[in-house]
Structure 1
Amino acid sequence: MSKSSDEFGFGTPFISYGDVYKNEVLPKVASGLVNATEEDKKLYSVEYGDVFFTRTSETIEEIGIASTCFETIDEATFAGFLIRFRPKTNRLSPRFARFYFRSALGKRYFVKEMNLVTRASLSQALLRNFTVLLPSLKEQEEIASYLEQKTAAIEESITHIKIQIEKLKEYRQALIYEAVTGKIDVRDMELDLVR
């Protein structure tokens, strides 16, 4: 949906390019607001199971990034720089779609097929021709559960490492402070120098 800049900042929820680009799962609260008409809300609705793709960018690497909607956002609309894919049947699990469409598989397809002129652009025709291999719903849910467990473990490790880095930075600062203020005498410390 395209609007002039004075139509933003008030009104109903608005899903931005950044909401999709930065999140595998669409945030439950949109980052923006827009003055949308009732017709806009119908045409550009945001519903459970929708998958949004980044449509245009100056670089090809930022095209086709997907975000899946896990919860309908009432009265929300979305940016014109996005394309919405709405499954017509319940054969696609949103949990599976989250990983499938954010994977390198789609990225390789879009990059290979896309025409790059001055701006990269993902067309509806190109998205329509993207083949989706669908295992049974049961298998999709099993795959999604496995990937959720693995990605949660990775996120936990990242968080743990970030905490350790912050503690080391604090220790470093404290050590520098003590050395500068004379609380420790660095001349007495043994240094292991590599020659």
Structure 2
Amino acid sequence: MTEEIKQRIETIKAGKVPDGYKRTVVGIVPNEWENKRLSELLKFQNGVNADKEKYNSGIKMISVMDILSNRPIFYDNIRGHVDIDEKTLNNYSVTYGDILFQRSSETVEDAGKSNVYMDEENIATYSGFVIRGKKVSDYNPFYLNELLKSSKVRQQIIKYSAGSQHINVSQDSLSKVNVCFTNKYEQNRIAEILSKWDKVIELQEKLIEKLELQKKALMQRLLTPKEGWKKVKLESVIRKQKAVLVNTNENGKNPIIDMDYLINSSFCNYTNDEGIRADLNDVLLLWDGSGAGTPIHKVEGVVGSTFAKLTPNHEIFPSFLYYYLLKIQERNKLLREGSGVPHIPKDFLRMQTISFPTKTSQKNILNILENFDLQINYHHKKLEVLKQQQKAMQQLLITGIVRV
């Protein structure tokens, strides 16, 4: 980063406008950049609402899941289908350059998130939970989609959203959103740079997916019972402690191992309650909720009420139990009970068996699996660094702090 750019950043951080820049509704941008409302660039329309029996066959249909994938949408990657006639398709078609917005979300952070359709060969349609922004003006669509992710534009979308339980974004509210545009040449250069970052991140994600599949096959091979392995009911070798509800406290000293931790891989909530504590040697099993049956290991904190702490006896290493539960995770999910919140059955430990070898053999198996996990964790950390670098570069380019 040059001294000029560093000084420009410091000037903006201090709330001042650098030479050659101006203050706008979307922040400080270069003087020559043009302000536009989204209504000047896109024609908005809600998506297709069809009868239940019309789904799962027919033409490809873009859904909220495609929008949240955070990668430009191509026809081959669309998972949904809907059976509609040609007239309906003409009215609700999605073609190259259209921007798709999420109409409704459960969190403010996800309100009105967008993604761009970049397939030049195939026409798709879109669901009723999506708002299409039909391309009606000359711009680089990848660039516009990146612009819509910038903090000042996201703040406007959230400001115009409505609802308490579900956050809704309307066509009218999106029409009011302002963006600041550079010229077409610089749009194309910014799109080119950021799309390269997307490709690098995509390759890294595919590498992690490949490693996860290899790990799954490795666990299947290493943990399949061999001659001489002991087979027993889990209840005979495992002690279970179902966690109780703990009170969250903003200034709490003890981190809580809960659903937020499971989703974010970091502690979000804290407590001053003692509760049931877990250390690095303990194995936890998610007992309640949509992910019931998911094991975690090597985490220290107070166990949240949706988890159970499982402690093996002297015959089994905790890490061996963890990998065994990971191996049978999908099978455990089929055992879940409950019409409202699904949960693992109370007699799960009596129902389920475990096969294990001597502790020497367990140790050899664990050395292989744990080394493989170290490799996967390394690539996950590398992915996070790439995403942070991309986000920083996006912010510098989209605001014009760095010119290309």
* TM-score normalised over the length of structure 2: 0.39
Deviation string 1:70-91 (CA, Å, 9 cap, x unpaired) is 114645210111111122122x
Gaps of 5+ in 2: 1-47, 223-319, 321-356, 365-404
Q: Which amino acid aligns with 1:77?
A: T
* SS of equivalent residue, structure 2 residue 165: coil
The 5-angstrom pairing of residues 135-146 of structure 1 reads 135-146=182-193
Corresponding residue for 1:13?
60
**Contact residue 19 and residue 27 of structure 1 kept, 8 A:** no
**Pair 1:178–1:86, CA change in 2 (3 A):** farther
**Pair 1:166–1:116, CA change in 2 (3 A):** same
* Structure with bigger gyration radius: 2
Corresponding residue for 1:50?
98
* SS of equivalent residue, structure 2 residue 112: coil
Deviation string 1:26-61 (CA, Å, 9 cap, x unpaired) is 132221211112221011101111000101122222
Corresponding residue for 2:360?
180
Corresponding residue for 2:109?
61
Q: Which amino acid aligns with 1:56?
A: S
Corresponding residue for 1:122?
169
Q: 140-149 vs 47-56, which deviates more?
A: 140-149
Q: Using the TM superposition, give the Cα deviation of residue 97 of structure 1 relative to its aligned residue in structure 2, in angstroms.
A: 2.1
Q: Using the TM superposition, give the Cα deviation of residue 123 of structure 1 relative to its aligned residue in structure 2, in angstroms.
A: 0.6
Q: Using the TM superposition, give the Cα deviation of residue 158 of structure 1 relative to its aligned residue in structure 2, in angstroms.
A: 6.5
CA RMSD of aligned residues (A): 3.4
Corresponding residue for 1:93?
140
**Pair 1:182–1:76, CA change in 2 (3 A):** closer
* SS of equivalent residue, structure 1 residue 86: strand
* SS of equivalent residue, structure 2 residue 181: coil
Corresponding residue for 1:134?
181
Decide which structure has greater strand share: 2
Q: Which amino acid aligns with 1:181?
A: S
**Pair 1:147–1:81, CA change in 2 (3 A):** same
Corresponding residue for 2:367?
none
* TM-score normalised over the length of structure 1: 0.75
Q: Using the TM superposition, give the Cα deviation of residue 140 of structure 1 relative to its aligned residue in structure 2, in angstroms.
A: 0.4
Q: Using the TM superposition, give the Cα deviation of residue 102 of structure 1 relative to its aligned residue in structure 2, in angstroms.
A: 3.1
Q: Which amino acid aligns with 1:44?
A: Y
Kindly tell me the number of residue pairs found equivalent between the two proteins.
182
Q: Which amino acid aligns with 2:112?
A: G
**Pair 1:155–1:47, CA change in 2 (3 A):** closer
Gaps of 5+ in 1: 185-195
Deviation string 1:148-193 (CA, Å, 9 cap, x unpaired) is 334445556667788899999x8xx9xx899623998xxxxxxxxx
* Inter-partner Cα distance in structure 2 for 1:183 and 1:134: 60
**Contact residue 140 and residue 188 of structure 2 kept, 8 A:** yes
**Pair 1:40–1:182, CA change in 2 (3 A):** closer
* Inter-partner Cα distance in structure 2 for 1:83 and 1:137: 25
**Contact residue 94 and residue 134 of structure 2 kept, 8 A:** no
**Contact residue 67 and residue 98 of structure 1 kept, 8 A:** yes
* Inter-partner Cα distance in structure 2 for 1:55 and 1:112: 14
**Contact residue 24 and residue 102 of structure 1 kept, 8 A:** no
* Inter-partner Cα distance in structure 1 for 2:65 and 2:145: 16
**Pair 1:159–1:75, CA change in 2 (3 A):** closer
Corresponding residue for 1:193?
none
**Contact residue 49 and residue 68 of structure 1 kept, 8 A:** yes
Corresponding residue for 2:346?
none
* SS of equivalent residue, structure 1 residue 143: helix
* SS of equivalent residue, structure 1 residue 33: strand
Q: Using the TM superposition, give the Cα deviation of residue 15 of structure 1 relative to its aligned residue in structure 2, in angstroms.
A: 1.2
**Pair 1:153–1:42, CA change in 2 (3 A):** closer
**Pair 1:158–1:45, CA change in 2 (3 A):** closer
Q: Using the TM superposition, give the Cα deviation of residue 12 of structure 1 relative to its aligned residue in structure 2, in angstroms.
A: 1.5
**Contact residue 64 and residue 106 of structure 1 kept, 8 A:** no
Q: Which amino acid aligns with 2:159?
A: K
User: Which residue of the other structure, out of 125, 129, 138, is the alignment partner of 1:81?
Assistant: 129
Of structures 1 and 2, the one with the larger relative CO (CA 8 A, separation 6+) is 1
